[in-house]
Structure 1
Amino acid sequence: MLIDINAYVGHWPFMQLKHNTCDALHERMNKFGVDISVISNLNGIFYKNTQSANEELFEEIRSKAKFRDRFIPFAVINPIYAGWRDDLDVCINKYGFKGVRIYPKYHDFEILDPSCIELVKRVRDFGLPVVFNFRMVDSRQRSWIDISNLKNNVIREWNLKSILPIIKAVPDAKYMILNFANAATLNAEEMALIKKTDLLFDTSGRTITNMSDFLKNYGPDKFAFGTHSPILDYLTGLLRIESLSPGEADETIKEMLRSGNAKKLLAI
């Protein structure tokens, strides 16, 4: 079984995307043997009111019966936008969404903003995961009207240490950290925090050039198949799993990466 924990529908304002509808993604899943995709609506990153994007996703999934068992929808919530608490309640209790994506850089708030911490705690209390991305696109190829990667001439693209503060603030939440990019080095205390947290990384990010090293360092229970589709290609995330030799990962571990770890975190 294959579960993709990192996929999208919707539009990216700065580049043309393909396979960015439920129909197109469903077709691609069938072609490559993916059983379930966790999806969000990219439009929620750019709409002033993210709930409009969540409503779009809800309507698109319910438009065809074939989508309902294949897609697990996650809401995009901006905790500094008025009414976000009501939006969260609607997405989970009415729409049946199974997690929340948060975009501090695009929605212009700090990761330890009190509203962000409150949102993470509320999602935790629902028993659902909170999702952070290292990045959406490679900042070296960003549009001039995309968010800046520079502040006071200092590169500020996230690395793993950038996300640790929210995990320390709410250590009993569930997390998904996607599109693993940039520095992954942690000290012993930081690594211990990661290992005891209910957390998954996906396999899409460019930093994962040697999957076996990441399995040794973080543990095989910390990774799951993810594509970051349609922004990244659909196969690299899976090839990182399937290219592991028997000495690097036996079939039991590969099944954990393909779907087992995702099933556990998503409670499916």
Structure 2
Amino acid sequence: MNTLPIHPDDPPRLSFVCADTDEARAARTRLVHRYGNTPIGDADVIVALGGDGFLLETLHRSLSVGNGTAKPVYGMNRGSVGFMLNAYRDHDLPERVARAQSVTLHPLRMVATRTNGDMVEAIGINEVSLLRETRQAAKLRITVDGKVRMQELICDGCLVATPAGSTAYNLSAHGPIVPLAAGILALTPISAFRPRRWRGALLPHTATITFDVLETHKRPVSAVADFTEVREVVQVDVREAREIALTLLFDPEFNFEERILKEQFEP
């Protein structure tokens, strides 16, 4: 973890955004009244008030307002789980942000080709997942760096998760938790039917994973990168977008890397 280059005598310019809930809106009103509100494009830091899902939305939004460099995001929990969020407190917020430690995340880039030939590109901070669209199981062929590694996977779906996303949908699908500094992506099947005992794979972050959808007319499949869904795909390429760096800010006592490690030992 690193700290932002913010001088304690020069308070960071903060822009407050919130989830569409009463609790989050009330918190934003209090904080704006206390500290003011800088337009998001001019802010040093975006303060996100909500849950983990809203934090993910804010990280996506930070890409579009950073003029090529994503704005740092400091989240405070006004949702439910708040795994990736700091504790909510009204007081001393500029000082907390100024001494916060930063974690850099690299998302996934998905390029999905639809049955009509259209190509759709999207960014996934947590994961890119392929999911069956009907009662019929999906049939997928998996290629890694140009070499076919699985000729046919019959399943409800399959996903590629970043380390930050490995504790989300990936964990629910019984995938491994990946430490942030491991340089690894998790490839995890969702309810695999054949081969029944395949539990997935750990791949270097430099890998390019290609999913070919077999029997597309009988077994339609959609591809989802965080919030972007593309239906009726025939092929999906996934790789780490190393050229994109997202910055999350945490209180020193939070220690996001420790939280991810600790999840591996929770009962």
TM-score higher than 0.5 = no
TM-score range relative to shorter protein: under 0.3
Higher relative helix content = 1
Higher relative strand content = 2
User: Using CA pairs below 8 Å that are at least 6 residues apart, which structure has the higher relative contact order?
Assistant: 2
Q: Which has the larger radius of gyration?
A: 2
